[in-house]
Chains A and B, each alone.
Chain A
Amino acid sequence: DIQMTQSPPSLSASVGDRVTITCRASQTISRYLNWYQQRAGKAPKLLIYAASTLQSGVPSRFSGSGSGTDFSLTISSLQPEDFATYYCQQSSSSPLTFGGGTRVEIK
């Protein structure tokens, strides 16, 4: 299985801050990397797919980059509704695997 390692596991930030979350795959996955946001008690929501393609309806303050084994999700200006847990997922090969999550908390 491909292991996905996210960092940091959690972070504290203020509204308006620029936030970057990283995700590393244990082997190359080309650009088959997706990012999800999960608010407490809710289902995950797709933000970014194919490493950098913004899902329809997702605000442009979210962006993704990377290829191969190293990827990142950036929120350019953190908004109150962005405080949540973020997961990366590889869809390069079965079984699909998720990172451990990054919890973004209010400072």
Chain B
Amino acid sequence: QVLLQESGPGLVKPSGTLFLSCAVSGGSISSIDWWSWVRQSPGKGLQWIGEVFHTGATNYNPSLKSRLSMSVDKSKNQFSLMVKSVTAADTAVYYCARAGSSHEGAADYWGEGTLVTVSS
């Protein structure tokens, strides 16, 4: 059973940088799966942010690409998300997830999500 747990500040100031980590347990970050971030604005639908592979390869949503950075820390078995120059529109619940290689890219394991509010 793979478990994912997000961590990071719940409040970020406008124009600041959002930084979240996702700790993986019950599985290796160096597997052949991709590690994803998905967000959900209050009362809204789901938005795929992007994904990272253990080699450091990434795929980003073009709508956010200029402000995004994702990375993997193999020593800690975790991966991270950084979003620069945040605005109120970045306020959302952020989920980390595993895109299972045996599941045609579907996210088969999810973290519980963490609310990030952008406000001064």
Contacts and interface: CB of A to CB of B under 8 A. Distances in A.
Contacts of B113: 43
A34 B110 CA distance: 15
B48 A98 contact: yes
Interface of B: 38, 45-48, 50, 59-63, 95, 99-100, 103-108, 110-113
B103 A46 contact: yes
A87 interface: yes
Interface residues of A, number: 25
A98 B95 CA distance: 14
A91 B104 contact: yes
A32 B105 contact: yes
12 contacts: A31-B104, A32-B104, A44-B95, A44-B107, A49-B103, A50-B104, A50-B106, A87-B46, A91-B99, A95-B50, A95-B62, A95-B63
Which 10 residue pairs spanning A and B have beta carbons closest together? A91-B105, A49-B106, A34-B106, A43-B110, A96-B48, A95-B61, A98-B46, A50-B104, A94-B59, A49-B103
A97 B104 contact: no
Given A32-B105, A44-B110, A50-B104, 8 more contacts: A1-B62, A32-B104, A34-B103, A46-B107, A46-B108, A89-B46, A91-B106, A95-B63
Interface of A: 1, 31-32, 34, 36, 38, 42-46, 49-50, 55, 87, 89, 91, 94-101
B112 to A, nearest CB: 6
Contacts of B100: 49
